Copies of this chain bind each other. A is one copy, B any other.
């Protein structure tokens, strides 16, 4: 029932272990839920209580450590052998006396993984100051190294199956924008347009369904468009409203973001000129993208200031 073959997970882990070796890291502690998913397949919304994946050179598979009730979900979603799913009991949950990171330190010590250099994702959401303090107190024989984004860089190169999921996510993103375009009209509440966007997000296409996004769409109307990252309201759309929607289609946690504007009227000449500049610039960049090209070069491929001048 796992999303990828065991061989694909083991190849990912090998990639991570190589980078660990290059940096002199003996044990990697992974706090990021997205990185845990990529490494093990574990796909529960359970990281509101502390959970971690640990990668050691001493073991083929990582271990997943999390709340006991969530260990059941690992059975359905992770490629790990049962002995590599390590549950902690509920006495550690929401307690002022005990913390799951104390359990984590004890578990690592039991396995003899408490020495050498331990890499941690120092600036990852979820790797809190408290986790860090408790792990350092519980693992006095180790020295800690910053491994923030180590796995994220390993994730950059995608497998064919990952690319399939990203393409499917792209098709879902297009469906979401289509749903917004079809629903938006003067007199319709902004929330009713976004309701259709969400419906399309989850329904996906006839061939494959969608999943929830890692962040909600941003959706701004009128003067609110001058701010990013805000949300829709209950207000009704009016003629000549500009409705800016930034969203991502999602398939199995793989996101394809897509931003588009809907204008409820006849666009002004200036709007049309700006739209033309953006389209030309994007096409010039896309034409320049190929393996080996860095983002800076792609961006230089065409001088954006000259776009739309024809």
Contacts and interface: CB of A to CB of B under 8 A. Distances in A.
Given A195-B203, A234-B208, A45 B227 contact: no
Interface residues of A, number: 61
A293 interface: no
Interface in A203-229: 203-204, 208-212, 215-216, 218, 224, 226-229
Nearest to A246: B45
Interface of A: 43-46, 48, 69-70, 72-73, 75-77, 99, 120, 122-133, 146, 148, 189-192, 194-204, 208-212, 215-216, 218, 224, 226-234
A43 B120 CA distance: 31
Query: How many subunits of this chain does the assembly comprise?
Result: 2
A226 B122 contact: no
Given A198-B199, A215-B45, A229-B45, A122 B133 contact: yes
Contacts of A198: 195, 198-199, 201-202, 212
Contacts of A233: 209
A137 B232 CA distance: 40
Given A124-B128, A227-B72, A229-B44, A212 B202 contact: no
A194 B75 CA distance: 23
Most central of A43, A124, A130, A208 by chain B CB within 10 Å: A130
A211 to B, nearest CB: 6
Contacts of A123: 99, 128-131
A191 B210 contact: yes
Given A195-B203, A202-B191, A228-B73, A129 B122 contact: yes
